[in-house]
Structure 1
Amino acid sequence: MTNPISVQLYSVREHMAADRDATLRRVAGLGYRAVEPYNPADDPKGFRALADELGLTVSGTHAGGLVREPEPGPTFEAVARLGTELAIVPAGIPEQEFTTLDGIARAADLLNGLAEQASGYGLKLAYHNHWWEFEPRIDGVHALEVLAQRLSPRVFLEIDTYWAAVAGAQVPELLERLGERVVALHVKDGPMVKGEPNTAVGTGAMPVRAILDARPDAWRVVEFDSCAGDVFEALAASHAYLTAVRDGRGGPA
């Protein structure tokens, strides 16, 4: 069964801060049937109850507390309460660690250790990239791919396809190389210029169809770091585009 299209709620972070429940209801009203939270420790019980009421699956959650807090246990417990099996490290490893082999080895050790702990809570661990894991190259290989070679099979990846492309990766080919380790995709679009806002999926420069075809079983998670226009209109348009692609009605982009 195909996973429902998800949305990273960081896209509507200001609305979430103002009125979480109304924002989740609005997201569900756009047709989304899955969400990816970014602060699992913020009332996970209440969040799960409302998500269940709205028919929203929690596809995974960003869990920065896993690297920010001295003890990851409470964050793992919060993730489990949300009803997802996927805890995602969204950042927190110093950017300079991805510029040397020794730094990458330290990052791998950290993630491998967290993945082992995650299994004790019935969870899987994934790592989410930005641009700084792709701009550095080690012997011509993107640092993220060097990291992947050193990760335990217990560590999965959520590839932010937009940041990978902005940093110089050919994303469809990248996803083919990384294979089944990639369990989720941040599906984003825009001009592929660092600092410029995102646009609705299907309206920018990203090769969205080729990206989706490269990992057909991964979660599709729409995200806007910033938005050129009304974010809810862009979320609606993105959902419509991805639904059309899923149903075989999408264009060539």
Structure 2
Amino acid sequence: MPEPLGVQLYTVRDALAADRAHALRRIADIGYTAVEPYDPTDDPKGFRRLVDDLGFTVPAIHAMALLDAAEPGPILDAINTVGTELAILPAGIAPEEFTTLDGVSRIADRLNAVAATAAGHGVRLGYHNHWWELEPVIDGRHALEHLVDRLDPAVFLELDTYWAAVGGADVPRLLTALGDRVLALHVKDGPVTKEDAHLAVGAGRMPVREILAAAPDAHRIVELDTCDTDFFAALAASHAHLSTLEPA
């Protein structure tokens, strides 16, 4: 059974800053039933009350601060308060590290150390890609695939399907190769370029149906980093399209 459709809240970051409760209610009114926040320490108790009241689940949270935190305990406690067991690092590693196997090994050591700390708080660590983990091809495989080989088996991936495509990956093939290491997908669409604005899911060049079929058990999380139209309208169009592909 496919996971409920969710929204990465970075998509509506400006609306959240203006009126968090109203922005979340608009997402719920569209029909989404899950949200993925991006700052666990931003009023975790108040956020938890809001999402509970609106009937949202929180399948995962982005927690970039964990990567270099001198005191990760408060961040992990906030993640526990928000109510998810999956914390994802969405950035923070120099792209150049992905261009050699030595660099990939250093990244893996770094992520494994953070994962061990997180596990002590009941939190499982994940990594979220952009294009620079896919562009380097080493010994016939994307750098991201070499990274997975070196990560502790408990460390999972949230595959950003759009950025993977921009990086040159055949995304359905990649998902099949990565298998159950992928627990979540960022479902996005657009012209598959680095520079251009993203589009509502279904309005661009991404093979969305094939991508979903290649990872049937992963969390589905819609995100638009940028958009030339109204973000909520794009989220509504994305929800409508995805609802025709599989049960939401």
TM-score normalized by structure 1? Answer: 0.95
Instruction: Measure, in 2, the Cα distance between the counterparts of 1:188 and 1:2.
Output: 17
SS in structure 2 at match of 1:15: helix
Instruction: Measure, in 1, the Cα distance between the counterparts of 2:125 and 2:99.
Output: 23
Give the aligned residue type for 1:25: R
Give the aligned residue type for 1:112: N
SS in structure 1 at match of 2:7: strand
Asked if residue 61 in structure 1 is aligned to residue 67 in structure 2, the reply is no
Give the aligned residue type for 1:85: E
Segment of structure 1 superposing worse, 140-149 or 174-183:
140-149
Instruction: Measure, in 1, the Cα distance between the counterparts of 2:146 and 2:167.
Output: 15
Q: Which residue of 2 is the match for residue 16 of structure 1?
A: 16
Does the CA-based 8 Å contact 1:36-1:62 persist in structure 2?
Answer: yes
- Cα offset, 1:69, TM superposition: 2.5
1:90–1:29 Cα change, 3 Å: same
Map residues 184-199 of structure 1 onto 2, 5 A cutoff: 184-199=184-199
Q: Which residue of 2 is the match for residue 227 of structure 1?
A: 227
- Cα offset, 1:68, TM superposition: 3.8
Q: Which residue of 2 is the match for residue 71 of structure 1?
A: 71
- Cα offset, 1:22, TM superposition: 1.1
Give the aligned residue type for 1:109: D
Asked if residue 132 in structure 1 is aligned to residue 132 in structure 2, the reply is yes
TM-score normalized by structure 2? Answer: 0.97
Instruction: Measure, in 1, the Cα distance between the counterparts of 2:135 and 2:122.
Output: 34
- Cα offset, 1:19, TM superposition: 1.3
Give the aligned residue type for 2:215: R
Does the CA-based 8 Å contact 2:197-2:228 persist in structure 1?
Answer: yes
Instruction: Measure, in 1, the Cα distance between the counterparts of 2:207 and 2:24.
Output: 29
SS in structure 2 at match of 1:169: coil
Instruction: Measure, in 1, the Cα distance between the counterparts of 2:129 and 2:72.
Output: 20
Does the CA-based 8 Å contact 1:112-1:154 persist in structure 2?
Answer: no
The one of the two structures with greater contact order (alpha-carbon pairs below 8 A, sep at least 6) is 2
Q: Which residue of 2 is the match for residue 251 of structure 1?
A: none
Asked if residue 38 in structure 1 is aligned to residue 38 in structure 2, the reply is yes
Asked if residue 141 in structure 1 is aligned to residue 156 in structure 2, the reply is no
SS in structure 2 at match of 1:57: coil
Instruction: Measure, in 1, the Cα distance between the counterparts of 2:100 and 2:228.
Output: 36
SS in structure 2 at match of 1:158: strand
Instruction: Measure, in 2, the Cα distance between the counterparts of 1:185 and 1:198.
Output: 16
Q: Which residue of 2 is the match for residue 180 of structure 1?
A: 180
- Deviating above 6 A after TM superposition, structure 1's stretches of 4 or more consecutive aligned residues are none
Give the aligned residue type for 2:216: P
Instruction: Measure, in 1, the Cα distance between the counterparts of 2:232 and 2:140.
Output: 40
5+ residue gaps, structure 2: none
Instruction: Measure, in 2, the Cα distance between the counterparts of 1:190 and 1:89.
Output: 23
SS in structure 1 at match of 2:17: helix
Q: Which residue of 1 is the match for residue 104 of structure 2?
A: 104
- Number of residues of Structure 1 aligned to a counterpart in Structure 2: 248
Instruction: Measure, in 2, the Cα distance between the counterparts of 1:172 and 1:227.
Output: 25
- Cα offset, 1:225, TM superposition: 0.6
Partner deviation per Cα, 1:27-55 (whole Å, 9 max, x = no partner): 11111100000011100110001000000
Q: Which residue of 2 is the match for residue 150 of structure 1?
A: 150
Instruction: Measure, in 1, the Cα distance between the counterparts of 2:76 and 2:128.
Output: 17
Does the CA-based 8 Å contact 2:2-2:218 persist in structure 1?
Answer: no
State the Cα RMSD in Å: 1.2
Instruction: Measure, in 1, the Cα distance between the counterparts of 2:121 and 2:181.
Output: 20
Give the aligned residue type for 1:94: A
Instruction: Measure, in 2, the Cα distance between the counterparts of 1:228 and 1:202.
Output: 16
- Cα offset, 1:152, TM superposition: 0.6
Aligned-residue sequence identity (percent) comes to 61
Give the aligned residue type for 2:75: T
5+ residue gaps, structure 1: 249-253
- Cα offset, 1:18, TM superposition: 1.3
Instruction: Measure, in 1, the Cα distance between the counterparts of 2:211 and 2:8.
Output: 18
